[in-house]
Structure 1
Amino acid sequence: MELTAAHWVYMAGVASLIVVMLLRKNVIVPAVIATFVTAWLYTGNFLNGLGSVFSASMVATTELLNIFLVLTVVTALLGALRAIGADRRMVLPLARLMKNGPVSYVVLFVGTYLLSLVFWPTPTLALLAAILLPAAIAAGLSPLGAAMAIAIAGQGMALASDYVIGVGPSLSASGAGVPADQIADRALLLSWVVGGVAITLTYLLYVRTGSLGRVLAEGRGRAGHREAVASTALPASPAPLAGIPALVGDALTTKGEPLRTAGRPDAPAEQVGVLTGDDHGAEPGAGNGNGTGGGAAPADGGGAAANAAPRTRFFAIAVPAAFAALVVYLVLGKTTDLVPEVESGYGAALVGGLALLLMLGVTLSSGADGLERAGQHFVDGLLFAFKAMGVVIPVAGFVLVGISDFAGRIMLLPEDATAPGFLFDVISSGERFIPDNSVVVMFAMLIAGMLIGLDGSGWAGLPFTGGLADALAASSGADTATLAAIAQNAAGWTGGGTLLIWSSLIAVAGVTGVPVTTLARKLFLPVVAGLVLSVVVAAVIW
């Protein structure tokens, strides 16, 4: 196949995106420039190139709009729960299970994973830092052991699959051209493999041997515990951190009454607030403009104080139960004949619809101003979604230029014109150099996923790895969804993150007081070993 100048410019754009990610810079500029030059050269019309810059983002926004809406309503739900203190009550039962260090390690891992599937890992840190983390430390688990459990479960397993919210699989599917559900199912299993290996090796190498205390002591010798918490700079990530208790260091180093007070369900709201420094006003989607407080205190004025506790307890039980029921239904529909299977692509709509109805239930139960609260939470969620995911739009638009299904619309070609597929053309022209061994291609996708994860999130490159998976599947005989899932899984674990000190791993280090370099170094062997094994499992199963 003869490659034109536009093909080479497109591939140069792909290379520039990878380089910029490696340098941890913003990828919008090379994506926009590459889109403009590629369209200009292919059509031979400057105006077409100019218009393609806008139409690429427009097409990408249309394809990804469902992702933004799902993230909007989930964030709005979390903000509504925070306003009435139900977010904390959801984790109190888990805190009571923490009897000793090993048990706390398991409970913290499981609790972080389940919460992060629904609310994303970084916002979940606020709940962990308020209740679960102090309870785990008091039970005998070292701060580094707690940090590793949190990072593996949240920043690793939950974000790599993103099975409930479905943002990651949808981004991968936008380039791969396969249903997002197929990628999500494979990414979920792969994330379990990596997580199982990582959490087991971490326990055997560090938690069980007791060497964590020595490592932590060395870290504290270089920087004070409280200074590490107070001065930590939080990076941009798919789920920006907010609402982390400012004084959680006191809880981590205290064995006395304040720590026990913070973990009790009957603790007065003012005591919990003093301990954690939490005002529930910092998180996008949580603020409502009315200065609502945190803890168990009611958010709708003193007249509703008598009804606050029952309402809080009800939604603290109803929200996780509703999401758990939905996940069980989806799984049963796919694996059994007990319930009808949900059609492909409907999962995100079901999650979004459930979150929206639950958010309305929470806000309308708050009193006369429930209508205004619902609108404000939705707007806050929408702002958060576009702040978190806005950078993906121009990058996705550039990637879609290389796929024939979208290139015609983006470059403003006539409807009867044959649209090019730059990415697939390049892969086809070099097909003789590509090993026809599917296992080799799977490991190549693993490396590609880890590379795009070096930007500190990895999500901006998922449309690219999805398109690459589709192009390589034909020559290698591998399954497109599997290749896309491998890359997504690798990008999530790398940039989500468990391996990079400039990812949201720094937030985990901040709330636990562990040096982020120590945390990343100790996670490297367990996570990489899990990633390698996950490719082997994928090769055997699919």
Structure 2
Amino acid sequence: MGIELGALHWMYVLFIAFIIGFMIMRRDTSILCILGIFLLSLTATSSLSHSVSAVFSSFIYAITELLPTILIISIIVSMSKVLMATGINESMISPFARLIKTPALAYWVIGLVMMTISYFFWPSPAVALLGAVLLPVAIRVGLPAIGVAVAMNLFGHGVALSGDFVIQAAPKITADAAGLPVHEVVQASVPLVIVMGVVTTLSAFYFLKQDMKHNRIHVQPTMLTNSSSVQSTPLSSSVRRALAIIVPLFFAIDVWAMFALHLQGGDATALVGGTALFILVVVSLIAHKGKGLEQTTSYLIEGLQFGFKVFGPVIPIAAFFYLGDAGFTTIIGDFLPKGSHGLVNDLGVALASTVPLTAQVATVTITALGAITGLDGSGFSGISLVGSVSHLFASALGSGAATLTALGQIAAIWVGGGTLIPWALIPAAAICGVSPFELARRNLKPVAIGLAVTTIVAMFLV
């Protein structure tokens, strides 16, 4: 069913275990990831010079893959800075401030709005649209920035993306691999998505409330709102109110355009980013009379500095995990064992082919397989494998193909699509000014509980 696992596979697993251990102990993983890249390359090529070069090449690869996310975050931050400096942000959030009165209300309202928008346009554009407006409101009513990040992340990159009921990109991939109609996978995923979403978001909210109650986390200014370089540039009240209406209106037009033009994923993110750039330019020119050209550049520089500061610790770990998939051939070269489809996929196939098969074992294995394939931080790269293995398991069991396929899709996307892998968490973490590693640690227990409960429920549906 797959190739025999070799030294590269076991070394990759060993370093994953080390990285997870370091994260749990709250230690930095950059040096460990660099060492892992070097040793994997040395094992594959037996060339010292090639292995040293591979470390640098892996960073280039990671930055290239992450660059669209870095840019959208940087541009949104640049726009947010000029909105705060001019007082427009205050005028924009005042209606929300009247609606959201408590931390609990902030958590659930932000989460549900994020989920709704993410169903139509995917989570990354939704984070950009919501974060800059709703984050200050949540902090004012007592919800810490990490709580906002958790809500946006779990409801967007978790609930909405794992079901993907509207756009249906994920179920299309898994359904094709499993040889099933898309609607069967979507229907089978509904109860599992509901169980996973309810258990995970409730667990996360409970842990958040406990930490707030015992003063383990506090409401404090975020990296975005705590910048001393933002100088107050007040506008007249009439101009400020007008711009506070125009700015959300532009983003509302973006939402309409995404729907009307069927813009998704990167295209939708690009539209939001371009709109934010135009808002930045126009507001800067209005607010900084005679110095708008220079101030626009200053805001852009501040945003880019923020973006790369946030992404800096993430690039080494992303570089390591990209070696688990297509990045290995690009970074190190064609040194994988013959017949290999990537280290992560090989590990997943090996796991699936070595377990005795019952309904209970099949569901646990599919969940584990989905989680393993999600370790590359994509969420989507391994769901074809999940669909194929689900088809094989269902053939042996005589039923449950759609349920197993949906379960594997949920596990892969919750782990890799943006709730546990640090660099996949960056959109929500960066907008909220929190560490992606801290967000990953906070998500770990609720997501693990959710996957366990969802897997148990799936046992009765197969």
Instruction: Indicate the TM-score class for this superposition, using the shorter chain for normalisation.
Output: 0.5 to 0.7
From 65, 75, 78, the counterpart of 2:77: 75
With over 3 angstroms needed to count, the CA separation of the structure-2 counterparts of 1:125 and 1:112, relative to structure 1, is farther
Aligned to 2:352: 431
1:45 & 1:92 partners in 2: Cα distance?
A: 61
Aligned to 1:159: 153
What is the deviation of 1:533? 6.8
Aligned to 1:27: 29
Aligned to 2:317: 395
From 233, 247, 260, the counterpart of 1:319: 247
Whether the 8 Å contact between 1:77 and 1:359 is mirrored in structure 2 is yes
TM-score, scaled to structure 2: 0.66
TM-score, scaled to structure 1: 0.57
Give the percent of matched residue pairs that are identical in Structure 1 and Structure 2: 22
Aligned to 1:345, the other structure's residue is in SS state helix
Partner AA of 1:310 in structure 2: S
What is the deviation of 1:363? 1.0
Whether the 8 Å contact between 2:377 and 2:421 is mirrored in structure 1 is no
With over 3 angstroms needed to count, the CA separation of the structure-2 counterparts of 1:382 and 1:202, relative to structure 1, is closer
Whether the 8 Å contact between 1:408 and 1:418 is mirrored in structure 2 is no
Whether the 8 Å contact between 2:88 and 2:240 is mirrored in structure 1 is yes
With over 3 angstroms needed to count, the CA separation of the structure-2 counterparts of 1:123 and 1:379, relative to structure 1, is farther
1:440 partnered with 2:364 = yes
From 304, 308, 315, the counterpart of 2:236: 308
1:327 & 1:423 partners in 2: Cα distance?
A: 36
1:287 partnered with 2:289 = no
Aligned to 1:250: none
1:242 partnered with 2:223 = yes
Whether the 8 Å contact between 1:490 and 1:531 is mirrored in structure 2 is no
Mapping 1:195-344, distance limit 5 Å: 241-242=222-223, 282-283=226-227, 287-288=229-230, 292-293=231-232, 299=233, 307-330=235-258, 332=259, 339-342=260-263
2:49 & 2:321 partners in 1: Cα distance?
A: 20
Unaligned runs of at least 5 residues, structure 1: 134-145, 169-175, 180-185, 206-211, 235-239, 244-279, 294-298, 300-304, 333-338, 453-460, 509-519
1:14 & 1:371 partners in 2: Cα distance?
A: 47
Give per-residue Cα distances to partners, 1:176-200, cap 9 Å, x unaligned: 9x99xxxxxx99x999876766788
Unaligned runs of at least 5 residues, structure 2: 115-125, 163-169, 174-185, 392-404
Whether the 8 Å contact between 2:33 and 2:320 is mirrored in structure 1 is yes
What is the deviation of 1:75? 0.7
Whether the 8 Å contact between 2:344 and 2:372 is mirrored in structure 1 is no
Whether the 8 Å contact between 1:441 and 1:476 is mirrored in structure 2 is no
From 77, 100, 118, the counterpart of 2:128: 118
From 316, 319, 327, the counterpart of 1:406: 327
Aligned to 1:365, the other structure's residue is in SS state helix
Aligned to 1:385, the other structure's residue is in SS state helix
1:443 & 1:216 partners in 2: Cα distance?
A: 29
2:383 & 2:410 partners in 1: Cα distance?
A: 8
With over 3 angstroms needed to count, the CA separation of the structure-2 counterparts of 1:378 and 1:57, relative to structure 1, is same
Aligned to 1:81, the other structure's residue is in SS state helix
Give per-residue Cα distances to partners, 1:45-81, cap 9 Å, x unaligned: 1111111101011111111111111111011111111
What is the deviation of 1:387? 1.3
With over 3 angstroms needed to count, the CA separation of the structure-2 counterparts of 1:86 and 1:218, relative to structure 1, is closer
Whether the 8 Å contact between 1:159 and 1:492 is mirrored in structure 2 is no
Aligned to 1:475: 389
1:38 & 1:106 partners in 2: Cα distance?
A: 48
What is the deviation of 1:233? 9.8
Partner AA of 1:110 in structure 2: V
Whether the 8 Å contact between 1:121 and 1:159 is mirrored in structure 2 is no
Aligned to 2:308: 386
Give the total of aligned pairs: 392
1:308 & 1:94 partners in 2: Cα distance?
A: 22
1:322 & 1:151 partners in 2: Cα distance?
A: 28
What is the deviation of 1:106? 4.0
